Amino acid sequence: SPTTMTLDYLPTLELSGDLFARKFDDAVEPLIKDYIDKRREKEEERLKREKEFMKDMEAENKTESLPLEEWEFQGEGVLIVAKETVGDKEPLCLGMEKDNNKVLLRPCFRKEVPPTLSPNWETGAVIIEETISYNRWDIGPCSSDGDLKRNETGELEMIPGEYSVTGPKCMLKIGDGARAGRCLDVDSERNQPGGLMHIYPCVTKWHQLFSFGNGTIAPRGAIHASLPLHIVRQLENKKK
């Protein structure tokens, strides 16, 4: 039988983009259908704002794009930089190896670039000509519970939602190369810390949805995945 849906599974349902007919049990999770209704209300409000914006643009004969969300980055994607290496001679970024799907830390820039970096370079835009291939990422789509805001250092600050203490969950997609558009993925659905990461076609499951730390559950600036409740319960039952 299908998994009984709990609140921690809502981001997966939301980001799938599919119609869903799943197993809901009011005794197990009495609030999930209420939050689905709230999510639909937020989506309808967003669509209404976008429609009004486009109507205003037409009236003024303008062709501006829709305004970015606070967590969105305009331009050529983002670099996910290891914070402890920002001031090093060779900063390291999350990237993919050229000949396989493994994701690891590798130099952010071409060899000639680091000596020319200005102070606070990490807050600026990505310049394709300066970066090494397979280092650029696109963030999103993200689930709607909670909020993400960029601070002055370029980090994403997570604000918890009504039901999600880890805030929005986002897909991270590689931005260039033959595998552009594929998703960061927890290798083999590892359920213990220390698992390897790789790039895989996007399937919108928990092991491809990532949250950003705010110093509570995860360190500030960290990127992490969270186990669904039904898997946590399975692991606990195995220990008994």
* 5-38 pLDDT, tens digit each: 788 888 888 888 777 666 778 888 888 888 888 8
Q: Residue 197: helix, strand or coil by DSSP?
A: strand
Q: Residue 23: helix, strand or coil by DSSP?
A: strand
pLDDT in tens, 61-110: 877 776 666 556 666 789 999 999 999 999 999 999 888 899 999 999 99
Strand order in the sheet with 136-142: 78-79, 136-142, 170-174, 183-186, 197-200, 102-107, 92-96
Q: What pLDDT score does 208 carry?
A: 93
Q: What pLDDT score does 185 carry?
A: 93
CA torsion through residues 131, 198, 82, 142, sign: positive
Q: What are the CA-CA distances from residue 225 to residues 93, 95, 232 (Å)?
A: 19, 17, 13
pLDDT in tens, 108-124: 999 999 999 998 899 88
Residues 219-240, mean pLDDT to the nearest whole number:
80
Q: Given a cut of 70, is residue 188 above it in pLDDT?
A: no
- Alpha-carbon distance 79 to 92, whole Å? 10
- Alpha-carbon distance 30 to 172, whole Å? 31
**pTM of the predicted model, to two decimals?**
0.83
Q: What share of the chain is helix, strand, coil (3-state, %, to 5)?
A: 30, 20, 50
Q: What pLDDT score does 156 carry?
A: 87
Contact status, residue 66 vs residue 50, Cβ threshold 8 Å: yes
Average pLDDT, the chain: 85
Contact status, residue 80 vs residue 178, Cβ threshold 8 Å: no
For the beta carbon of residue 161, count every other beta carbon within 10 angstroms.
19
- Alpha-carbon distance 139 to 159, whole Å? 17
Q: What pLDDT score does 1 carry?
A: 54
Q: What pLDDT score does 91 carry?
A: 95
